[in-house]
């Protein structure tokens, strides 16, 4: 018969050994500093979609990040350390985003996470990132809640949000096309938040919402909604429909010849969502943060660099999604350099309030990272289909009609809703 003998001395010894080990390793998330070495590469986890509704945008986002990383490595890395990256598909699904973030931090030991197009995915990733204190750059999702109620100390939001775009467009559109509006809203966080911002502005400027039609994600037939628009006869239709849904939507509006009337306001038009579509699908006015033919110094060189790096890419010119992915990653690596360390708190401080000149960002106005919300405040462009479009230059699809300085389109509601965690509440570590 087996007998287990637990002596008092043995028990005390085991307890002491366990306590010692715990003091050394501790809760892993707070003590990763022991694993960091100065020659260890800086590892970035790329959390972009490679499948699902935003697969195409995710690929563009990723190309932007890779170009920034390669540029830095060609210059010898950051603080003498090579920058490495790993990509896992977030599938345009929030639950996958959480899982991927958890794996990248705990198993792949990524010090930074970059990338998102879908706001639900971005929010899911950022919750995991905050738990571990890992800096996360939301490159391309533009729900106002991302830098509002869902803001985090470790999250930085690089795209203009729905409120920024609505502010740039709503007041002028009421004056030009009338007060009666209909809203077509993608039934998820970005759509709802953008519609909410539009409704608030309509209330402020005397507009009226006749009806809001919610469009489930994955909708491929918009005829019911478009018939309803015909029945209601609004002056303006504000559409917050994204990704593949938007491509099908645009195609169907064009087929019905409804692009000219009523007036269409489309919150933001991501370049990968329209690239390759016939020009008559580009109806209405829409927002963007960058265009490859902006008449500004550096833009042509940037486009050339893209074409040299990605000669086989079907998208022959970069768009706003690529631009955001590139700029976010470049600024993160610059911030590590400025901080003189890859300590997450030091890098967060280097990013907060950081000013970026218009020339450096190839935009019309200076930009800055809002210290209270972590959103990049930047130039907002309004565009429409290029009236001089020709078959010889199929890429030149947009005509920029206005640019608005960031302080004119500030999202004050997001700033009120955002409560960043304190530095002390954020786990610290050296990446």
Partner 1 sequence: MLDLLPHILNGLTLGLLFALIALGFTLIVGVMEVINLAHGSLFALGAYFALSLLGGMWFGDTAFGAWWLRLSIETRYVAALFVGPALAAIAGMALELCLRPTYGKAPLYGLLLTFGAALVIEEIIRLGWGTGEQNLMVPASINGPVLVAGFIYSKYKFFAAGFSIVAIFAVWLFLEKTPYGAIIKAGAHDSEMVRALGYDLSKLRLMVFGFGAALAGLAGIIMVPIWGLRPHVGIDVVIPAFLIIVIGGIGSFWGALVAAIMVGLAVGITGAYAGAWATMSMYILLIIVVGFRSRGLFGRKSALEN
Residue from 79, 200, 209, 248 touching partner 1 (CB under 8 A): that is 248
Interaction between residue 223 and partner 1 (CB under 8 A): yes
| Secondary structure (3-state) at 17 | helix
Structure tokens at 328: 């976010």
Residue from 204, 255, 307, 357 touching partner 1 (CB under 8 A): that is 255
Residue from 36, 210, 214, 317 touching partner 1 (CB under 8 A): that is 214
Q: How far is the CB of 225 from partner 1 (least distance, A)?
A: 6
Q: Among the candidate windows 1-9, 124-132, 250-258, 357-365, which touches partner 1 by CB under 8 A?
A: 250-258
Structure tokens at 308: 């040299």
Structure tokens at 382: 């309004």
Angle at 232 between CA 231 and CA 233, to 5 degrees: 95
| Secondary structure (3-state) at 208 | strand
Q: What are the distances in angstroms from CA 29 to CA 18, 32, 107, 420, 426?
A: 18, 6, 12, 20, 10
Using alpha carbons, select from 158, 222, 137 the residue that is nearest to residue 185.
222
Binding to partner 1 in span 114-173, by CB under 8 A: none
Q: How far is the CB of 48 from partner 1 (least distance, A)?
A: 13
Dihedrals phi, psi of 323, to nearest 5 degrees: -55, -50
Structure tokens at 332: 């993160």
Closer to partner 1 by Cβ: residue 133 or 235: 235
Distance CA 363, CA 341 (A): 29
Distance CA 11, CA 162 (A): 61
Residue from 208, 221, 416, 421 touching partner 1 (CB under 8 A): that is 221
Residue from 44, 55, 134, 345 touching partner 1 (CB under 8 A): that is 55
Closer to partner 1 by Cβ: residue 149 or 252: 252
Closer to partner 1 by Cβ: residue 255 or 357: 255
Q: Among the candidate windows 29-37, 117-125, 274-282, 369-377, which touches partner 1 by CB under 8 A?
A: 274-282
Q: Among the candidate windows 55-63, 71-79, 136-144, 356-364, which touches partner 1 by CB under 8 A?
A: 55-63
Pairing state between β 155-157 and 135-138: parallel
Binding to partner 1 in span 400-429, by CB under 8 A: none
DSSP states of 69-123 as a string? HHHHHHTT-BTTB-EEEEE---TT-HHHHHHHHHHHHHTS--SEEE--SSHHHHH
| Secondary structure (3-state) at 237 | strand
Closer to partner 1 by Cβ: residue 278 or 340: 278
Closer to partner 1 by Cβ: residue 121 or 315: 315
Residue from 257, 297, 298, 353 touching partner 1 (CB under 8 A): that is 257
Structure tokens at 123: 């929010």
Interaction between residue 396 and partner 1 (CB under 8 A): no
Q: Among the candidate windows 5-13, 164-172, 217-225, 321-329, which touches partner 1 by CB under 8 A?
A: 217-225
Interaction between residue 225 and partner 1 (CB under 8 A): yes
Interaction between residue 298 and partner 1 (CB under 8 A): no
Helix/strand/coil percentages in the chain, nearest 5: 45, 20, 40
Interaction between residue 213 and partner 1 (CB under 8 A): yes
Distance CA 67, CA 251 (A): 32
Per DSSP, 293 falls in state T
Interface residues with partner 1 (CB under 8 A)? Answer: 51-52, 55-56, 59, 187, 213-216, 218-221, 223-225, 227-228, 230-231, 244, 247-248, 251-252, 255-258, 272-278, 314-315
């Amino acid at each position: 018969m087996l007998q287990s003998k637990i002596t008092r001395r043995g028990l005390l010894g085991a307890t002491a050994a366990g306590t010692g080990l715990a003091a050394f390793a501790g809760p892993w998330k707070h003590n990763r500093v022991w694993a960091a070495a100065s020659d260890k590469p800086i590892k970035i986890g790329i959390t972009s979609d490679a499948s699902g509704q935003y697969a195409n945008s995710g690929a563009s986002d990723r190309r932007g990040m890779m170009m920034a990383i390669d540029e830095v490595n060609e210059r010898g890395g950051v603080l003498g350390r090579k920058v490495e990256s790993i990509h896992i598909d977030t599938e345009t699904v929030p639950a996958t985003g959480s899982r991927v973030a958890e794996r990248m931090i705990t198993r792949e030991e990524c010090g930074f996470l970059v990338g998102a197009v879908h706001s639900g995915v971005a929010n899911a990733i950022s919750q995991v990132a905050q738990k571990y204190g890992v800096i996360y750059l939301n490159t391309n999702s533009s729900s106002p809640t991302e830098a509002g109620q869902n803001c985090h100390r470790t999250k930085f939001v690089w795209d203009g949000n729905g409120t920024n775009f609505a502010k740039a467009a709503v007041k002028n559109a009421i004056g030009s096309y009338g007060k009666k509006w209909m809203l077509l809203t993608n039934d998820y966080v970005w759509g709802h938040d953008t519609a909410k911002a539009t409704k608030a502005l309509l209330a402020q400027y005397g507009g009226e919402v006749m009806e809001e039609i919610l469009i489930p994600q994955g909708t491929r037939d918009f005829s019911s909604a478009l018939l309803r628009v015909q029945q209601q006869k609004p002056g303006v239709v504000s559409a917050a429909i994204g990704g593949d849904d938007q491509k099908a939507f645009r195609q169907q509006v064009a087929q019905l010849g409804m692009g000219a009337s009523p007036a269409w306001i489309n919150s933001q038009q991501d370049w990968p969502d329209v690239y390759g579509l016939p020009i008559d699908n580009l109806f209405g006015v829409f927002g963007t943060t960058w265009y490859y033919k902006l008449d500004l110094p550096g833009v042509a060189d940037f486009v050339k660099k893209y074409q040299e790096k990605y000669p086989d890419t079907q998208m022959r010119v970069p768009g706003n999604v690529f631009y955001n992915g590139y700029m976010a990653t470049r600024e993160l690596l610059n911030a590590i350099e400025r901080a003189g360390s890859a300590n997450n708190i030091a890098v967060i401080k280097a990013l907060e309030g950081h000013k970026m000149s218009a020339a450096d960002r190839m935009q019309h106005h200076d930009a800055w990272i809002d210290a209270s919300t972590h959103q990049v405040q930047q130039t907002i462009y309004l565009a429409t289909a290029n009236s001089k479009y020709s078959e010889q230059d199929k890429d030149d699809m947009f005509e920029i009609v206005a640019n608005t300085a960031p302080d004119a389109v500030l999202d004050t509601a997001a700033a009120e809703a955002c409560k960043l965690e304190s530095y002390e509440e954020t786990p610290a570590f050296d990446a």
